Amino acid sequence: MRLDKLVAHAAQRSRSDARAAIRRGVVCVDGAVCRAPDEQVDRNATVSLEGKPLCTSPYVYLMLDKPKGVVSASTDQNEVTVVSLVRGDYPRRSLFPAGRLDKTSTGFVLITDDGAFAHSILAPKRHVPKTYEVLLDTPLTAEMIEGFAAGVRLADGSVMRPAGLAPGAGGPCSARVVLQQGVYHQIKRMFGVYGAGVNELRRTAIGGLVLDETLGPGGFRPLSPEEVARVAARCEDTP
Ligand code: URA
């Protein structure tokens, strides 16, 4: 693809803006400044604009730090949605969240317009690991850790897949949970079996990709091609 077309597409700028940026010397291809708008760029090249890597894929992949009170949806009549937080930068894209977080939960939401990619993360057979930092209303116990490892039976009788549970860094009530499935309110319901309430829940990683804590609540950035590939690599079928 031509460099000016690629920059315009990836940075959501007009073709003339992209050309001006290229001529200013703020666009690099594989680490070297390129001032030729008509340069043909390989689809696997790393392209950056003003030092920030651009996603050269035809699709958009964003890492968002969801704040509390925002719903994991594309649109909603009454609520602020995760997609509305990024819409200004991507006005013409059919974006949606690849996976949900409760309205009261915070942290990593992956937003994309690549349906096949989202499916590979969300398909129950894929078991893509997701990491959560949790603050309970009671101290973590060995019984909870053993129960999570064995597979918790929820109040409705369904048995969850084994999940990782370990003490967190924030004192006796803090915990780190690693899930490989996504059942509605899963973590809250799993702790509920032990009479524990969840006061705070924050997703910090998806498929080996760790949330960039410098983004801050409501902050977002495109994933680099390497980051997209890292998540995709975790999306292979497992028994
Ligand atoms: N489990 C929950 O209970 N809530 C979330 O938002 C995510 C996992």
CATH of the domain at 78: 3.30.70.580
Q: How far apart are the C-alpha atoms of 49 and 27, rounded to whole Å? A: 5
The domain that contains 199 carries what CATH number? 3.30.2350.10
pLDDT tens, N- to C-terminus, the chain (239 residues): 899 988 988 887 889 999 999 999 999 999 999 999 999 988 678 899 999 888 777 788 999 999 999 999 999 999 999 999 999 988 888 999 999 999 999 999 999 999 999 998 888 777 899 999 999 999 999 999 999 999 999 999 999 999 999 999 999 999 999 999 999 999 999 999 999 999 999 999 998 899 999 999 999 999 987 888 888 777 654 44
pTM of the model: 0.80
Q: Is residue 238 part of a domain?
A: no
Using the mean position of ligand 1's atoms as its centre, give its distance from the Cα of residue 48 in Å. 35
Q: How far apart are the C-alpha atoms of 11 and 223, rounded to whole Å? A: 13
- Looking at the fold, whether 19 and 33 belong to one and the same domain comes out as yes
- Looking at the fold, whether 215 and 115 belong to one and the same domain comes out as yes
Is 38 assigned a catalytic role? no
- Looking at the fold, whether 116 and 218 belong to one and the same domain comes out as yes
- Looking at the fold, whether 191 and 179 belong to one and the same domain comes out as yes
The reply to whether ligand 1 has any atom less than 6 angstroms from the CB of 104 is no
Beta strands in 152-223 (DSSP E): 164-167, 174-179, 198-206, 209-210, 220-222
The reply to whether ligand 1 has any atom less than 6 angstroms from the CB of 109 is no
The reply to whether ligand 1 has any atom less than 6 angstroms from the CB of 131 is no
**Domains contained in the chain, number:** 3
Q: Is residue 239 part of a domain?
A: no
Which residues lie across from 84 on neighbouring strands? none
- Looking at the fold, whether 95 and 149 belong to one and the same domain comes out as no
Distances (CA, A) of 17 to 5, 22, 54, 226: 11, 9, 15, 26
143: tokens are: 């019984």
Structural domain boundaries enclosing 33: 3-53
- Looking at the fold, whether 101 and 112 belong to one and the same domain comes out as yes
Query: Residues near 39 by Cβ (< 8 Å), separated by ≥ 6?
Result: 2, 3, 29
- Looking at the fold, whether 29 and 91 belong to one and the same domain comes out as no
Q: Is residue 70 part of a domain?
A: yes
- Looking at the fold, whether 15 and 29 belong to one and the same domain comes out as yes
Which residues lie across from 2 on neighbouring strands? 40
- Looking at the fold, whether 19 and 135 belong to one and the same domain comes out as no
